Structure 1
Amino acid sequence: MADLVAPSGEALPGQLDGRRVVVGPADAPAQGRAAHGRGSYGPPRPRIPGRRTADAGEPGTRHIFLSIGTLAVIYELAGPGMGFAGIIGVILLILGFTSLSVLPFNTAGLLLLLLAAALFVGEVLTPGIGLFAADGRRH
Protein backbone atom coordinates (compact mmCIF):
# COMPACT_ATOMS: atom_id res chain seq x y z
CA MET A 1 0.00 0.00 0.00
CA ALA A 2 1.43 3.39 -1.00
CA ASP A 3 0.30 6.70 0.47
CA LEU A 4 1.95 8.85 -2.18
CA VAL A 5 3.78 8.55 -5.47
CA ALA A 6 6.60 10.93 -6.33
CA PRO A 7 7.51 11.65 -9.95
CA SER A 8 11.23 11.78 -9.06
CA GLY A 9 13.58 11.24 -6.15
CA GLU A 10 14.04 15.00 -5.75
CA ALA A 11 10.28 15.56 -5.33
CA LEU A 12 9.81 12.92 -2.61
CA PRO A 13 11.20 14.92 0.37
CA GLY A 14 8.92 17.83 -0.50
CA GLN A 15 5.88 15.54 -0.53
CA LEU A 16 6.88 14.04 2.85
CA ASP A 17 6.96 17.41 4.65
CA GLY A 18 4.08 17.80 7.09
CA ARG A 19 2.82 14.20 6.96
CA ARG A 20 2.37 12.24 10.19
CA VAL A 21 4.25 8.96 10.54
CA VAL A 22 3.00 6.37 13.01
CA VAL A 23 5.75 4.30 14.61
CA GLY A 24 4.49 1.97 17.32
CA PRO A 25 2.21 3.73 19.80
CA ALA A 26 3.52 7.23 18.92
CA ASP A 27 3.34 9.37 15.81
CA ALA A 28 5.71 12.09 14.65
CA PRO A 29 5.90 14.57 11.78
CA ALA A 30 7.95 13.44 8.80
CA GLN A 31 10.96 15.57 7.97
CA GLY A 32 11.45 15.55 4.23
CA ARG A 33 13.70 18.36 3.05
CA ALA A 34 14.79 19.27 6.58
CA ALA A 35 16.21 15.78 7.17
CA HIS A 36 18.34 15.81 4.03
CA GLY A 37 19.39 19.46 4.10
CA ARG A 38 20.32 19.39 0.42
CA GLY A 39 16.77 19.01 -0.78
CA SER A 40 17.60 15.86 -2.71
CA TYR A 41 16.61 12.31 -1.95
CA GLY A 42 19.38 9.84 -1.32
CA PRO A 43 21.83 8.69 1.31
CA PRO A 44 23.62 11.49 3.15
CA ARG A 45 27.32 11.96 2.54
CA PRO A 46 29.53 10.45 5.25
CA ARG A 47 30.92 12.82 7.82
CA ILE A 48 34.60 13.73 7.74
CA PRO A 49 35.80 10.92 10.08
CA GLY A 50 33.86 8.40 7.99
CA ARG A 51 35.45 9.69 4.80
CA ARG A 52 38.93 9.54 6.32
CA THR A 53 38.34 5.95 7.41
CA ALA A 54 37.17 5.09 3.90
CA ASP A 55 40.23 6.80 2.41
CA ALA A 56 42.57 4.82 4.68
CA GLY A 57 41.16 1.58 3.31
CA GLU A 58 41.85 2.38 -0.34
CA PRO A 59 44.58 0.25 -1.94
CA GLY A 60 46.79 3.19 -2.86
CA THR A 61 46.72 4.62 0.65
CA ARG A 62 47.39 1.21 2.19
CA HIS A 63 50.50 0.66 0.15
CA ILE A 64 51.75 4.21 0.72
CA PHE A 65 51.42 3.65 4.49
CA LEU A 66 53.33 0.37 4.24
CA SER A 67 56.01 1.73 1.87
CA ILE A 68 56.75 4.92 3.80
CA GLY A 69 56.55 3.06 7.13
CA THR A 70 59.02 0.42 5.98
CA LEU A 71 61.39 3.02 4.54
CA ALA A 72 61.21 5.09 7.73
CA VAL A 73 62.05 2.08 9.92
CA ILE A 74 64.95 1.14 7.61
CA TYR A 75 66.19 4.74 7.71
CA GLU A 76 66.04 4.69 11.50
CA LEU A 77 67.94 1.40 11.68
CA ALA A 78 70.57 2.62 9.21
CA GLY A 79 71.25 5.84 11.11
CA PRO A 80 70.12 5.52 14.73
CA GLY A 81 69.75 8.61 16.82
CA MET A 82 66.98 10.57 15.16
CA GLY A 83 64.08 8.53 16.52
CA PHE A 84 61.47 10.53 14.65
CA ALA A 85 61.63 8.37 11.53
CA GLY A 86 61.33 5.18 13.54
CA ILE A 87 58.27 6.39 15.44
CA ILE A 88 56.52 7.63 12.29
CA GLY A 89 57.46 4.37 10.55
CA VAL A 90 55.97 2.22 13.30
CA ILE A 91 52.77 4.29 13.31
CA LEU A 92 52.45 4.05 9.52
CA LEU A 93 53.10 0.31 9.59
CA ILE A 94 50.38 -0.17 12.21
CA LEU A 95 47.96 1.90 10.10
CA GLY A 96 48.97 0.04 6.94
CA PHE A 97 48.45 -3.40 8.43
CA THR A 98 45.15 -2.28 9.94
CA SER A 99 43.92 -0.97 6.58
CA LEU A 100 44.87 -4.31 4.99
CA SER A 101 42.77 -6.06 7.69
CA VAL A 102 45.82 -8.00 8.82
CA LEU A 103 45.69 -6.26 12.19
CA PRO A 104 42.32 -5.79 13.95
CA PHE A 105 41.29 -2.29 15.04
CA ASN A 106 41.41 -3.18 18.73
CA THR A 107 44.93 -4.56 18.43
CA ALA A 108 46.07 -1.52 16.45
CA GLY A 109 44.65 0.79 19.12
CA LEU A 110 46.38 -1.19 21.84
CA LEU A 111 49.71 -1.07 19.98
CA LEU A 112 49.41 2.69 19.50
CA LEU A 113 48.65 3.13 23.20
CA LEU A 114 51.65 0.96 24.14
CA LEU A 115 53.86 3.02 21.82
CA ALA A 116 52.66 6.22 23.48
CA ALA A 117 53.30 4.73 26.93
CA ALA A 118 56.80 3.67 25.89
CA LEU A 119 57.53 7.19 24.66
CA PHE A 120 56.31 8.66 27.94
CA VAL A 121 58.49 6.23 29.91
CA GLY A 122 61.42 7.13 27.70
CA GLU A 123 60.80 10.80 28.44
CA VAL A 124 60.77 10.17 32.19
CA LEU A 125 64.01 8.15 32.09
CA THR A 126 65.85 10.52 29.76
CA PRO A 127 66.72 14.04 30.90
CA GLY A 128 65.41 16.57 28.43
CA ILE A 129 62.88 19.27 27.80
CA GLY A 130 59.92 17.08 26.86
CA LEU A 131 60.63 16.50 23.19
CA PHE A 132 61.31 12.77 23.48
CA ALA A 133 57.63 12.02 23.96
CA ALA A 134 56.76 14.36 21.09
CA ASP A 135 59.18 13.18 18.41
CA GLY A 136 61.50 10.56 19.86
CA ARG A 137 64.78 12.48 19.83
CA ARG A 138 67.19 12.23 22.76
CA HIS A 139 68.54 15.61 23.78
Structure 2
Amino acid sequence: MSTTAATSNKATFRRFHDALNSGDAEVISKTIDVVVEPDVLFHAPVPMDATGAQALKHVWAVLLRAFPDIHVAVEDVIAEGDKVVFRNTVTGTHQGEYRGLPPTGKSVTYHEIFIFRFAGGRIAEIWGVVDVFSQLRQLGAIPA
Protein backbone atom coordinates (compact mmCIF):
# COMPACT_ATOMS: atom_id res chain seq x y z
CA MET A 1 0.00 0.00 0.00
CA SER A 2 1.32 3.43 -0.86
CA THR A 3 2.46 6.22 1.40
CA THR A 4 -0.44 8.19 -0.06
CA ALA A 5 -2.91 5.63 1.31
CA ALA A 6 -1.27 5.73 4.76
CA THR A 7 -1.48 9.54 4.71
CA SER A 8 -5.13 9.39 3.65
CA ASN A 9 -5.91 6.84 6.39
CA LYS A 10 -4.27 9.10 9.00
CA ALA A 11 -6.40 12.01 7.79
CA THR A 12 -9.55 9.87 8.12
CA PHE A 13 -8.44 8.84 11.62
CA ARG A 14 -7.97 12.53 12.56
CA ARG A 15 -11.49 13.32 11.29
CA PHE A 16 -12.87 10.47 13.42
CA HIS A 17 -10.85 11.59 16.46
CA ASP A 18 -11.96 15.22 16.11
CA ALA A 19 -15.60 14.09 16.05
CA LEU A 20 -15.09 12.02 19.23
CA ASN A 21 -13.74 15.05 21.07
CA SER A 22 -16.66 17.20 19.94
CA GLY A 23 -18.75 15.80 22.80
CA ASP A 24 -21.71 15.83 20.42
CA ALA A 25 -23.42 12.45 19.97
CA GLU A 26 -24.97 13.53 16.64
CA VAL A 27 -21.63 14.68 15.19
CA ILE A 28 -20.02 11.42 16.33
CA SER A 29 -22.82 9.30 14.83
CA LYS A 30 -22.74 11.15 11.49
CA THR A 31 -18.95 10.90 11.30
CA ILE A 32 -19.12 7.16 12.00
CA ASP A 33 -21.61 6.87 9.10
CA VAL A 34 -19.09 8.55 6.77
CA VAL A 35 -15.72 7.07 7.84
CA VAL A 36 -16.64 3.62 9.20
CA GLU A 37 -17.88 0.64 7.17
CA PRO A 38 -21.43 -0.31 8.34
CA ASP A 39 -20.26 -3.89 8.95
CA VAL A 40 -16.94 -2.91 10.59
CA LEU A 41 -15.45 -5.74 12.65
CA PHE A 42 -15.12 -4.39 16.18
CA HIS A 43 -12.83 -6.19 18.64
CA ALA A 44 -12.77 -4.35 21.98
CA PRO A 45 -13.86 -4.84 25.61
CA VAL A 46 -17.45 -3.72 25.09
CA PRO A 47 -20.11 -6.25 26.10
CA MET A 48 -23.20 -5.67 23.96
CA ASP A 49 -25.46 -7.20 21.39
CA ALA A 50 -24.88 -4.61 18.65
CA THR A 51 -22.39 -5.21 15.86
CA GLY A 52 -20.66 -3.13 13.21
CA ALA A 53 -20.92 0.64 13.14
CA GLN A 54 -23.99 0.43 15.43
CA ALA A 55 -21.77 -1.09 18.16
CA LEU A 56 -19.35 1.81 17.82
CA LYS A 57 -22.20 4.34 18.02
CA HIS A 58 -23.52 2.54 21.11
CA VAL A 59 -20.10 2.66 22.80
CA TRP A 60 -19.90 6.41 22.29
CA ALA A 61 -23.48 7.00 23.47
CA VAL A 62 -22.65 5.11 26.70
CA LEU A 63 -19.36 6.98 27.18
CA LEU A 64 -20.94 10.40 26.59
CA ARG A 65 -23.72 9.68 29.09
CA ALA A 66 -21.24 8.48 31.71
CA PHE A 67 -18.47 11.02 31.02
CA PRO A 68 -20.01 14.08 29.31
CA ASP A 69 -16.63 15.85 29.39
CA ILE A 70 -14.70 12.88 27.96
CA HIS A 71 -11.52 13.84 26.13
CA VAL A 72 -9.28 11.55 24.10
CA ALA A 73 -5.71 12.82 23.80
CA VAL A 74 -3.73 11.06 21.10
CA GLU A 75 -0.20 10.34 22.30
CA ASP A 76 1.13 8.42 19.28
CA VAL A 77 -0.07 7.66 15.75
CA ILE A 78 1.65 5.17 13.46
CA ALA A 79 0.38 4.49 9.96
CA GLU A 80 1.66 1.71 7.77
CA GLY A 81 -0.02 -0.05 4.91
CA ASP A 82 -3.75 -0.35 5.54
CA LYS A 83 -3.46 0.18 9.33
CA VAL A 84 -3.34 3.15 11.70
CA VAL A 85 -2.28 2.48 15.30
CA PHE A 86 -2.84 5.05 18.01
CA ARG A 87 -2.21 5.29 21.74
CA ASN A 88 -4.53 7.52 23.75
CA THR A 89 -4.93 8.98 27.20
CA VAL A 90 -8.62 9.34 28.05
CA THR A 91 -9.93 11.68 30.76
CA GLY A 92 -13.42 12.39 32.00
CA THR A 93 -15.65 12.98 34.99
CA HIS A 94 -18.07 10.20 35.96
CA GLN A 95 -21.43 12.02 35.85
CA GLY A 96 -23.74 9.27 34.58
CA GLU A 97 -24.31 5.54 35.03
CA TYR A 98 -21.45 3.42 33.71
CA ARG A 99 -21.13 -0.37 33.77
CA GLY A 100 -23.78 -0.50 36.49
CA LEU A 101 -22.09 2.17 38.64
CA PRO A 102 -24.10 5.22 39.61
CA PRO A 103 -22.37 8.58 39.04
CA THR A 104 -19.50 9.18 41.46
CA GLY A 105 -18.32 12.61 40.34
CA LYS A 106 -14.78 11.19 40.21
CA SER A 107 -12.31 12.11 37.50
CA VAL A 108 -10.70 9.24 35.62
CA THR A 109 -7.61 8.97 33.46
CA TYR A 110 -6.90 5.77 31.58
CA HIS A 111 -5.00 4.56 28.55
CA GLU A 112 -5.94 2.68 25.42
CA ILE A 113 -4.38 1.48 22.19
CA PHE A 114 -6.35 0.94 19.00
CA ILE A 115 -5.57 -0.42 15.58
CA PHE A 116 -7.79 0.56 12.67
CA ARG A 117 -7.64 -1.38 9.41
CA PHE A 118 -8.82 0.58 6.41
CA ALA A 119 -10.42 -0.61 3.19
CA GLY A 120 -11.44 1.78 0.43
CA GLY A 121 -10.62 4.76 2.63
CA ARG A 122 -12.97 3.69 5.44
CA ILE A 123 -12.41 1.98 8.78
CA ALA A 124 -13.14 -1.71 8.17
CA GLU A 125 -11.81 -3.34 11.34
CA ILE A 126 -10.99 -2.14 14.86
CA TRP A 127 -8.94 -3.80 17.58
CA GLY A 128 -8.85 -2.09 20.95
CA VAL A 129 -7.09 -2.55 24.26
CA VAL A 130 -8.58 -0.33 26.97
CA ASP A 131 -7.33 -0.19 30.56
CA VAL A 132 -10.78 -0.95 31.99
CA PHE A 133 -9.19 -2.18 35.25
CA SER A 134 -7.68 1.25 35.91
CA GLN A 135 -10.92 2.94 34.91
CA LEU A 136 -13.02 0.83 37.33
CA ARG A 137 -10.43 1.13 40.13
CA GLN A 138 -10.56 4.93 39.87
CA LEU A 139 -14.36 4.80 40.04
CA GLY A 140 -14.20 2.66 43.21
CA ALA A 141 -15.68 -0.47 41.65
CA ILE A 142 -12.42 -2.37 42.29
CA PRO A 143 -10.47 -1.84 45.54
CA ALA A 144 -7.18 0.05 45.15
Question: TM-score with structure 2 length normalisation?
Answer: 0.22
**Higher normalized contact order (CA 8 Å, seq sep 6+, divided by chain length):** 2
Indicate the structure (1 or 2) with the bigger Cα radius of gyration. 1
